[in-house]
Amino acid sequence: MSYCLNPVCPSPENLANTERCQACGASLLLRDRYRVLHALGQGGFGATFLAKDESLPGQPYCVIKQLRPTTTAPHVMQMARDLFEREAQTLGRIGNHPQIPRLLDYFEANQEFYLVQEYISGSTLQQEIKRSGAFSEAGVKQFLSEILPIMQYVHSHQVIHRDLKPANLIRRSQDCKLVLIDFGAVKNQVNSVSAASLSDQTALTAYAIGTPGFAPPEQMAMRPVYASDLYALGVTCIYLLTAKSPKDLDYDPATGELLWQKQVHLSEHFAGVLKKMLEVSVRHRFQSANEILRALDLEPYLDSLANSMNSVSTRSTLTKRDPDSQPSSPAARAAMAIRARNQRSESTNLQTGVARNRVMAARPTTRDSGGRTGSNSNTSGNKTQAAPKLDSATLVSLYGKGKRDFASHDLSLLAIPKINLSGAVFHQSNLKQINLQGANLFNADFGKASLQRANLRDTNLAQAYLSNADLEGADLRGANLTQAYLLNANLRNANLCGANLTGAKLTAEQLAMAKTNWLTVRPNGKRGIL
């Protein structure tokens, strides 16, 4: 279908490949290259459309945002032009991030303004909640571990999003990663409708942009700061936990605070994190995405910190600790450990794989007598002891509390089918004969892990890191290994029948050692015997 962008067209839908609109005669090929297919969203101030670029090979899809002021009054046109240019400049400045749509084009025609952006295929978090229901606490923590680095990147470029909400977060179909959209928030009429009556729609004035209920007081008072986005992120977390819009929640009339605590059952620590994200006073709110990441990183270590169980790197030549070299109180020791972790992880916070790097950096370290560094071990003098064996219930509980680091653990023979362990770290762990059938292991780290004869049938191992892993005899039938890193992994007698290896990194020699059939999808995306 071809869709007419003439705002007064009585019948904008036309047959595919039509040159001119059958109803109004307007050209259906915008700028001689973009053919609009259908509307994606509509508001009083503009609309978005799905289109394809017929000037490029393959005619790729794109999104066209049309800023369409409801009046041609000079001050409104100037505001539209300012918003248009600001969004184009913003996307041009930050659009190189893999989880932010790229700006492809922008132009003005017939007193209407057009932005052309990368098309993101997938569902918004709002659609996801309506389809599948509320998230668990672990699910929201996983959400935060992905969205906070994006916010950190955005804020590092001196940009305040100002309209962060579930409808502006798309889970990309291609890799299940979240993508933050809509850096213009120009969807509704200017100064024509009060904020209270807009419900879930976006309010717009010359300076105040945001969705009532998600935007904090200072933003609606036209004084947004970086922490304003963090408040909106906190409200988004409550929405994910309750499946309720903020307008459906009660609030304290004396303070304006949302009354959400009775709607959810959360760990005390995570409830405290959310409470600080949702502080009405900017002064008492988290000031940066990194502060929230640090608060979430601390949770898996609270018990050990309280019991003074921190592992600290020491010189092998030291036989006696100076009593003045370490703080005496558990709180002081906790602060020291957090500062040390943050310094190690600071340089990687804005790179791909930030959640994994952050967890790896938070791992306690020790040194053996040769000065080599090890992880996840208890120390006695200079001797290193292996981490204890975990049972299924403990593993599930720790992951649910936010722990992601299970490196060097013994998980052999566990039966945990269909479990969600996405993003977890199992570096050098023993997972022999583990049953993970149907599990979600997306983006997990199995580097140098032993997975001999493991049941990984129908598991999601997309983007998993399996370098130097031992997968001899493992059952990987029907597994999703798209974009997995398998170089140097032992695939001798591994069963890859029906597995999807599209984009996976491995050699032909490795594949020759495994069992495959005509249903196996090769790294080049084609089916057949390898």
Calculate mean pLDDT across residues 265-272: 92
Q: Which residues contact 16 (CB under 8 A, 6 or more apart)?
A: 1, 2
Confidence of residue 315 (pLDDT cuts 50, 70, 90): very low
Question: 162: how many CB neighbours lie within 10 A of its CB?
Answer: 21
pLDDT of amino acid 417:
93
Nearest to 439 by CA among 462, 456, 453: 456
Q: Which domains does the chain have, with CATH numbers?
A: 2-118 (3.30.200.20), 123-295 (1.10.510.10), 404-530 (2.160.20.80)
What's the Cα-to-Cα distance from 421 to each of 66, 122, 162, 480, 486, rounded to whole Å? 41, 22, 32, 15, 19
pLDDT of amino acid 201:
46
Token pair for residue 187? 């969807």
pLDDT digits (tens, 9 = 90+) for 94-139: 878 889 988 898 888 777 788 899 999 999 999 999 998 999 998 9
What's the Cα-to-Cα distance from 415 to each of 261, 296, 459, 461, rounded to whole Å? 35, 28, 14, 17
pLDDT of amino acid 1:
85
Active-site residue, from 163, 297, 445, 475: 163
pLDDT digits (tens, 9 = 90+) for 194-248: 333 344 444 444 334 678 889 888 888 888 899 999 999 999 999 999 999 998 9
Mean pLDDT computed over every residue of the chain: 78
pLDDT of amino acid 481:
94
What is the b/e burial string over 463-485, where b = at least 16 CB atoms within 10 angstroms of the residue's CB? bbbbbbbbbbbbbbbbbbbbbbb
Known active-site residue 322: no
Please give the Cα distance from 219 to 226 (Å, whole number). 10
Confidence of residue 43 (pLDDT cuts 50, 70, 90): low
Task: Give me the DSSP letters along 31-65.
Answer: TTTEEEEEEEEE-SSEEEEEEEETTSTT--EEEEE
| pTM for this predicted structure | 0.55
Helix (H/G/I), strand (E/B), else coil: 440: strand
Calculate mean pLDDT across residues 55-59: 91
Question: 70: how many CB neighbours lie within 10 A of its CB?
Answer: 16
**Contact indicator for 290, 142 with CB cutoff of 8 Å:** no
**Which has the minimum average pLDDT: 71-80, 296-305, 341-350, 397-406?**
341-350
Confidence of residue 299 (pLDDT cuts 50, 70, 90): low
Say if residue 8's pLDDT is above 70.
yes
Say if residue 89's pLDDT is above 50.
yes
Please give the Cα distance from 438 to 302 (Å, whole number). 32
Residues in binding site for ATP:
65
